[in-house]
Amino acid sequence: GFRVPMVYEAVATGATGLTVDEVVLYDTDPTRLRVMERIIGELAHTLPGAPVLTTTDSLDVAVADTDFVFAAVRVGGPAGRVIDERVALNLGLLGQETIGPGGLAYALRSIPVARELTDAVKRLAPNAWVINFTNPAGIVTEAMRQILGERVVGICDTPIGLARRVGRQLGVELDDPSVEIDYIGLNHLGWLREVRVDGVNRLPEVLADDNLLDGIEEARLMGFDWVRQTRALPNEYLFYYLFPDEARRRIQAKATTRGEYLLAQQSRFYRTAVDDTCCASPLNLWRTVLRDREGTYMAEAREGARREEDIAGGGYQEVALRLMTALALGGSERMILDVGNGLDDGTRIVPELPDDMVVEVPCVVDRDGVHPQAVGPVALDQLGLMARLRASERKILEAAVTGNEGAAWEGFSIHPLVDSPVLGRQLVDGYKRGHPEVAALFA
């Protein structure tokens, strides 16, 4: 992915005490691979003791005998994202990368490739941990866990960013042992419900104070009155479920979709950065483009420019490093991860959902593995939305694995942001026309 240099830098600094000897970059696109090699090569010169960098277009070479695999896959590239968005928008539906029909189409293309990667890991590095960044992270992680089980963990920076913003407003560090959080949901569909400091839930004082809420991007997106009414802070992607018509209107009001904007940006970037003669510092160019990319993220959900503190609020590369360190060296780390619903004692985090369904919850990580933590009961409205979304995604998973077009039709039709067999059929047909991978899957 485009943020690979951030991950490399986090690994290379060795801030957690973990020493990484070698990083192998794998890509099927030689231009992207060459550009990332140039950027990271330049970055490595500024980092004493940086890991050796190797590049390859062979999946088997990339994963053989590795300890950790970071998976960030975008089948079809930015152009595929444009199709995902436009097919939905042309039917009067939300056109977004990971939410709604676009997210299902993205999953339909990504799952076969993600499973191919996982099969290679099982053959060539069966003891490796796979850390999945590929969106939609919940269902893609679930597809990979069918092959490698608990050794696949999903990471997303949105719950991390939310928790950090709340901690900042309370003046507490999330790493402090006295701080505990209650967060429950699926990837891009979750709620922060408690922040306990020394056993006392301090989220109510945040919800009661306009000044504190103003420092939390998610509260500004959803509205102060709404978060007070629900007594929880939702993941920023809940904006698309709570205000789908407004989101669609704002997207359609722009000359280009987010995907079209990024396609043009990325095309210019890679054309320039691959050319040694006209780009002396691809690292500086990458930083400029990344800054613009982060600043315009979810622009349709905001009325103004994104605040500086919100841009810096995520940091999944740091969480990935802490996760790796705890698994490799021991110690104990707490973080929000995408993991199976089943607990070590045989119970379920969300009793109403299956054991193998991937949920996004607080976890403790140590050398023995990733241990999901129990959370409070899930409110009926939260449970209903989680169940509807995952029922839809599981049909898409079935379609991606078996080639059953009928399952895809069901998956699109029952999604909360579609809710129509007629539109579901039109979506399947539209994505078959737009994506050769989807057409081949159902041939």
pLDDT digits (tens, 9 = 90+) for 175-192: 899 999 999 999 999 999
Of 183, 237, 240, 270, the active-site residue reads 237
Token pair belonging to 313:
């609020």
Residue 412 identity (one-letter amino acid)? F
Q: Give the count of beta carbons closer than 10 Å to the beta carbon of residue 249.
A: 11
pLDDT at 305 over 80: no
Residue 88: closest CA among 283, 258, 235: 258
Strands across the sheet containing 369-372:
68-71, 129-132, 152-154, 333-340, 358-366, 369-372
Least confident segment among 57-61, 260-264, 283-287, 344-348: 344-348
- Going 104 to 105 to 108 to 113, the CA torsion angle's sign is negative
| 279 marked as part of a ligand binding site | no
Q: What are phi and psi of 399, to 5 degrees?
A: -65, -40
Active site residue 237: yes
Alpha helices in 45-156 (DSSP H): 59-63, 77-90, 101-124, 137-148
Q: What are phi and psi of 183, to 5 degrees?
A: -130, 135
What does the alpha-carbon distance between residue 424 and residue 396 come to, in Å, rounded to a whole number?
Answer: 12
The top-level CATH class assigned to 4-156 is alpha beta
3-state secondary structure 194-263: EEEECCEECHHHHHCCHHHHHCCHHHHHHCHHHHHHHCCEECCCHHHHHCHHHHHHHHHHCCCCHHHHHH
DSSP assignment string, 374-433: P-PPPPHHHHHHHHHHHHHHHHHHHHHHH--HHHHHHHHHHSTTT--HHHHHHHHHHHHH
Hey, what CATH topology would domain 158-236+312-317+320-372 get? L-2-Hydroxyisocaproate Dehydrogenase; Chain A, domain 2 (3.90.110)
| 363 marked as part of a ligand binding site | no
| 188 marked as part of a ligand binding site | yes
What does the alpha-carbon distance between residue 404 and residue 205 come to, in Å, rounded to a whole number?
Answer: 50
Residue 298 identity (one-letter amino acid)? M
pLDDT at 246 over 60: yes
Q: Report whether the peptide linkage leading into residue 136 is cis, meaning its omega lies within 30 degrees of zero.
A: yes
Q: Do residues 193 and 231 make contact, with C-beta atoms less than 8 angstroms apart?
A: yes
pLDDT in tens, 66-94: 999 999 999 999 999 999 999 999 999 99
Beta strands 189-197; 200-201: pairing state: antiparallel
What's residue 313's pLDDT? 46
pLDDT in tens, 375-408: 999 999 999 999 999 999 999 999 999 999 999 9
| 231 marked as part of a ligand binding site | no
Say if residue 293 is exposed, middle or buried (CB neighbours under 10 Å; 0-12, 13-18, 19+): middle
H/E element holding 267?
A: helix 258-273
Q: Is 71 helix (H, G, I), strand (E, B) or coil?
A: strand
Parse the chain into domains and list their residue ranges: 4-156, 158-236+312-317+320-372, 245-309, 394-441
Residue 258: closest CA among 435, 120, 78, 53: 78
Beta strands 358-366; 369-372: pairing state: antiparallel
Give the percent of the chain with pLDDT over 90.
84
Of 27, 84, 157, 310, the active-site residue reads 157
What's residue 279's pLDDT? 78
What Rg, from alpha-carbon coordinates, does the chain have?
Answer: 21
Residues 6+ apart with CB under 8 A from 422: none
What's residue 300's pLDDT? 62
- Global pTM value: 0.94
Identify the DSSP state of 189.
Answer: E
Say if residue 411 is exposed, middle or buried (CB neighbours under 10 Å; 0-12, 13-18, 19+): buried
What's residue 366's pLDDT? 96
pLDDT at 140 over 90: yes
